[in-house]
Structure 1
């Protein structure tokens, strides 16, 4: 029997794919720079006419900052723009993007050739060793296979406030998210209120709350299959955060797939199997990196989302012989607060 695997996505093991994801994050950072620079000098740094551009999505978050924080962010970006040599070293070919242009960052980059340094043979995407643990590469063992299970769910067991945020009064916490299945299809998971929290408070779900579920029979019989859920924890009055993360995730996923196709010199085909695992990891890691890069420019008092993943090698797969993982936790720290979400993955019928 081959074991399922699960993890919190924080990195990408394939160096070239990691570089592709880092480029996507750099582009989002450039769009955020444009938003901040526009706040300082609107005529010099005009916003793009394309309302679907990343700049407009990021501007919605920037507008929620206090006037003082907007000014600090704008001043920092304008000062950085004067360091032409430093930006060239840090950004490489992306330093050619002109934030004074009315064209969006994305539109300008699409007119640039794809960097040779990011290209690699397509066959590398089919190699397992850089991607999966040894037990998943080795194939089935000698133990008798358990019965097939056709559904997968992520279950929330509890949400604990280890330290409430620096906001006045109790924290009104909600939980939302997005999911990506074995085909790369994404769904928005609507927010729900958890409870009002003070230091030490815990919301326990008994039985555990189903946050999202997947049909393991979808996407054909190509294995392994990978599944990703991004958990977004926020104070309820932050408003629109779940929608923002959903749109940001969609932008990242689209760019990652487009750039991987460019990196290997053509269409990358179906996104299931090993390729699906790799793309999902790239997207999950890039979203986390993007929040870190955008902190202080278009974000303020927001917990960075956490992306969880599991890889299912077969319908008979188990985690250490069991249909449910051991309880694990996702940690959220920010603006004086610390929350812990305890969860499990479970296969069932």
Structure 2
């Protein structure tokens, strides 16, 4: 898995595999919950619940979100928060743990600041060495295993020319589909997208809210032709000194109704990233304000995963607890092992999907990732596969006649494009009026720097009432690699495994030349 390009989804704290990272995400989730109680309760009891002065604190961010609500909604949410904040200490400890359950909500300090005054919780305490051991291992150690893009093709990055444009990674939108319109129906849904992105060096890219379109009914789609880059600047793949590199994008969807929820999530994301970074620094004993990225290279993606998990879980809690009907955010991650890795020889990943639910509705976003890089140098020469394929087939007859046939085909095949499957175009070979041998074989230029060619496919043996029969009775894979200027002789035999002794063989005598 470590050598594949992985595309991952982060829904909530259950998406986190590593126990230390999960503990940080869950503690920060509880910090946001307690901060919400304090911020919302302050709307009705400002003298009892004092907000911190810092505009970027979680409480201030949450308070601004509350102020955007209607008066009735604001009062309902504030009174609910007050009731939660006034619960007995035993209930709060049950829900938020020993430390957070006893935080003084009357303090003018933020909840996160008050928590930092206490000893680091045992389940969170860790070391620089431990985090270094899991950094740049998002797909194998940090996030719950999902799936990977198989059969990546490696391209030696040394073939790339010095560039005017950087090697970059794009996140592209293909379609937004209304699966189910929001309820209650009050005209068209006015949908907008926004979010944040973070790379392994802890650089943050804010994604301003952008209008997607009006959706009048289920099944209506907004198509982006050509695909649209979701944010700018693009991710610079050459930033940072080590591989693999990991990138996380958190997407927010909102109805364009003036609620400001997308803006709230961006502010929350930024504030929570700061708090989680501080929590991680404290957990390893580095202290507040430490240059964590230089101490633990690759920690940015760990923090990004924790932020995405905490925000996803928080929005779900916010909806259930306060009836704040919003679309759940979606976080996705990508792990690229090296500058030379592509998707099956292509610069674009396959289409991926993100589902947003909220307001009683559901929308599906189709996206992909795309690599941009400089073309190979002009002096790179096209590889050519030359030689011959000798096909032999035998129709076994119980009468002892056993008709057989041999045909030779010349091969002279230029390979000009990386990752493209070039068909050897070997015609089927029939014999005895009953047997047919097919060689479905292609050649692929695997690596434009070393010039390796992969020959792969399969032999199929059919037997029936005629040579045109589709009764498949035997198959055998073909798979071998030729280095530049290498000549190889490879024989592959396929037998009738269903009935009789019919047999087919292809002997390849091939050279990988210029």
TM-score (norm 1): 0.88
1:311 pairs, out of 320, 335, 348, with 335
Distance 2:3 2:310 in 1: 29
Match of 1:82 in 2: 87
1:219 pairs, out of 240, 246, 258, with 240
1:93 pairs, out of 84, 94, 99, with 99
Match of 1:137 in 2: none
Seen in structure 2, the aligned counterparts of structure 1 residues 17 and 46 have a Cα distance that, compared at 3 Å, is same
Match of 1:254 in 2: 274
| Structure 1 unpaired stretches of 5+ | 135-141
Match of 1:39 in 2: 43
Q: Which has the higher contact order (CA 8 A, sep 6+)?
A: 1
Task: Report if the CA contact (8 A) 2:354-2:365 is conserved.
Answer: yes
Distance 1:13 1:196 in 2: 38
Task: Report if the CA contact (8 A) 2:168-2:371 is conserved.
Answer: yes
Match of 2:355 in 1: 331
| Structure 2 unpaired stretches of 5+ | 142-150, 161-166, 374-514
State the shift of 1:298 in Å: 7.1
Match of 2:313 in 1: 289
Match of 1:24 in 2: 28
TM-score (norm 2): 0.61
Bigger strand fraction: 2
Deviations 1:172-224 (A, max 9, x none): 1111221112211112112221111022210111111111321101123x011
Task: Report if the CA contact (8 A) 2:200-2:300 is conserved.
Answer: yes
Count of residues in Structure 1 that have an aligned counterpart in Structure 2: 342
Seen in structure 2, the aligned counterparts of structure 1 residues 192 and 143 have a Cα distance that, compared at 3 Å, is closer
State the shift of 1:62 in Å: 1.3
Task: Report if the CA contact (8 A) 2:176-2:222 is conserved.
Answer: yes
Q: CA RMSD in A?
A: 2.7
State the shift of 1:321 in Å: 4.3
Match of 1:146 in 2: 155
State the shift of 1:288 in Å: 1.4
SS at match of 2:43: helix
Match of 1:139 in 2: none
Which is greater in Rg?
2
Matched, 1:127 2:133: yes
Which residues of 2 match residues 166-177 of structure 1 at below 5 A? 166=183, 167-177=185-195
State the shift of 1:250 in Å: 1.4
Match of 1:70 in 2: 74
SS at match of 1:45: coil
Distance 1:303 1:131 in 2: 26
Distance 1:50 1:299 in 2: 27
Bigger helix fraction: 1
Match of 1:102 in 2: 108
Match of 2:367 in 1: 343
Distance 2:37 2:94 in 1: 17
State the shift of 1:132 in Å: 3.2
Distance 2:212 2:283 in 1: 42
State the shift of 1:33 in Å: 0.1
Distance 2:255 2:65 in 1: 15
Seen in structure 2, the aligned counterparts of structure 1 residues 304 and 235 have a Cα distance that, compared at 3 Å, is same
Seen in structure 2, the aligned counterparts of structure 1 residues 157 and 189 have a Cα distance that, compared at 3 Å, is same
Matched, 1:163 2:180: yes
SS at match of 1:342: strand
